[in-house]
Structure formats: structure tokens, C-alpha cells
Amino acid sequence: MKKVFSAFVCLFLLNSCDDGDIVVETFDFGSVAVQKCSNNDILLKTSGNQLMLLNISPTFFKNEETPLNTPRAYTLLYPTDIIYRSYSGSVTSSSICATIPPSSPSVVDEYNVRPGGTVEVTTSMIPTVDATSLSTRISYSHLIKFKNVQFTNNTSTISFPEYLFGTYTSANNTLSFSFPGAVPQNCSDNKIYLKNGGEFLLVDLPAGSYPSVAGTQTISLGDTAKVISRMYSTSVAGSNPDYSAVVACAGSTPTAPVVLSEEWIATQGTVTIVTTEIFDASNTTVIGYKHNLTFQNIVYQKGTQSFTHPQYTFGDYTTN
């Protein structure tokens, strides 16, 4: 009797697991990189005849570091937010991102995500300094995870408590710290800057930092003495010849017509200023003062990240 009952239970379990509701499977893309279409905001992975694409707002991939253990979270709303497809042949990003999709390969199977799961995005920011030029590259990488997601092709469902989609690199911004031929300009007596295209380097020091007397002084950076590196999305120019000064000197950073891509503020390190007299043609009368600025062990900070320039020559600033 026990054998008959056991056989009945096994038959029941087999039937209940074969009703097409839940199928334990996985989507295997190995270690392939996450790519982005150049003509839209779709992120995707391809491997052989497989494709998975993620289509959510680019605001979840901002070039801003996320706080520790606090990823940006998007609740899935539409079946087209995440799509998995298998094709009749190998598929590439160029065929997926094309304005007019090619006729081949063709879609063999398609799974759409069910609303309700979550996409978590953890953004990290990594600065890398070239030891020779001090050019500094800022990379932004976004670790993308799916939490409690279900995919369906209307026949079966594939469930994932957690699925690692991969890492997407959205930007590699480079602060060149190169200002060839640039002459320091002033916002005020104590705030001066260099400009090259959309890149600015500002020195904001206390009153009296540029004295009318020859000598040398060293100023420690802190709350009242800062060096600021900024980079905008495009070269800062325009019909208004003073617009560069507006961007450099504004208490709050303008957001139009250019967009601020990077701002790193140094409140650690020292600025050495060597002041010398400038004489007239007869070399008898002082007509101004030249202040040569160099930085030592400047630590630039943004969020939790920082980078250090051991020494940097800002240049000569002239006052009357």
C-alpha cells in the first residue's frame, strides 16, 4: 500500500512541475561586457545567438558615486524594461542598435520581464593619475543587478532572486591639468583661474595672498583656501566674451548652456607664492608684482574619492 501511495505522490509532483508556470533555467552570458547603443539609451549583452537588453532611464546611470550600500533602485514597470532573446544565428550590438533591424538573424524565442522586480545600480568612481603629466582620468562604472525578477515567454517563467547583469562604464573623463599659454585671470583680488577649453583650474585664497612686497609665503589649504578643478561638457565660449569669467567665478556652478562634468576640490596641501617686483623700462620704478604659484601635495576630493598631485606649477599671476 505504501508503494502505491508513494508512486501516486511522485506522479502528482511530476505533473505539477510540468504545467509551464515555473521552469528553473538561467541566461548564460559568461563574462561578456555590457555595451550601450550609440543612438539610444539601451544597454545590452550579446553572446553567440543570445541577447539581453536593459531599457530604463539613463538617470539611473549618473556619473555620481552612490553611497555605500545604497544603490539606485528602479522598480520594473513594463515588459520591455528587460528583454531576453535567442536568435537563429549570431547576433551583435550593431544589428540590435540599427535603426532598421536586419532581416537575419531572426528571433527564435523571447522572454519579457514581469513588472515588480528591481534593478539596482551601484556606481563607483575611480581616479587615475599619470605620474608624469598629472593628467587624471576619472572612470565611472555601474554595477547592475536584477533582484527578484521573473521572465516569461507566455509558456514558461524563469525566476531569479538575484541576477548580475554586469558592469557598464558610462564615462572616462580626463582632467588634463594642461593650460598651454594660458595667463591667469582673476575673479577678484584673491580668486584666480586658468582656462583651456572647458577645463578650469581655480585658486581661491584669503585676502592678502598676493602682497605688494617681494617675498615668499606658503599657504596651507583648508576651509578658507581652496584649489578647484572643473571640467565642462564642451568648450566654454560664446557671444558673451565674459562668459568664461561667469563660469569660473560663479558662486554656484552654471548648468547651461554647458554642463559641469567634473568638480574636484582640494582643501589639503600647500600653495607656495614667490613674489617679485616688476620694474619699468629704466629699471628704476616698480610698476607691478609677479606672483609665481606652485602647489605641493595637493589632494583633490570628490565624494569619497581623492587623488594627489605631489607638485604642480600653476604659473605667474601679475598685480599692479
Short-list 275, 271, 265, 280, CA closest to 214 = 275
- Asked whether the beta carbons of 20 and 38 are under 8 A apart, the reply is no
pLDDT at 20: 40
pLDDT at 16: 34
DSSP label at 179?
A: -
DSSP label at 222?
A: B
Going from the C-alpha of 240 to that of each of 170, 194, 212, 271, the distances in angstroms are 32, 18, 33, 32
In angstroms, the CA 61 to CA 126 distance is: 15
Short-list 245, 231, 199, 225, CA closest to 295 = 225
Short-list 210, 217, 212, CA closest to 191 = 210
In angstroms, the CA 199 to CA 165 distance is: 35
pLDDT at 109: 93
pLDDT at 235: 63
DSSP label at 59?
A: G
- Which parts of the chain register pLDDT below 50? 1-24, 239-241
Element housing 152 (H / E): strand 136-152
- Compute how many other C-beta atoms are within 10 angstroms of the C-beta atom of residue 188: 9
Share of the chain above pLDDT 70, in %: 87
Degrees (nearest 5) of the Cα angle 207, 314, 302? 80
Going from the C-alpha of 269 to that of each of 63, 135, 277, 297, 310, the distances in angstroms are 26, 18, 27, 5, 9
Helices (H) and strands (E) in the chain, counts: 3, 17
pTM, 2 dp: 0.83
Q: Which residue has the cell 605667474?
A: 316
pLDDT at 21: 43
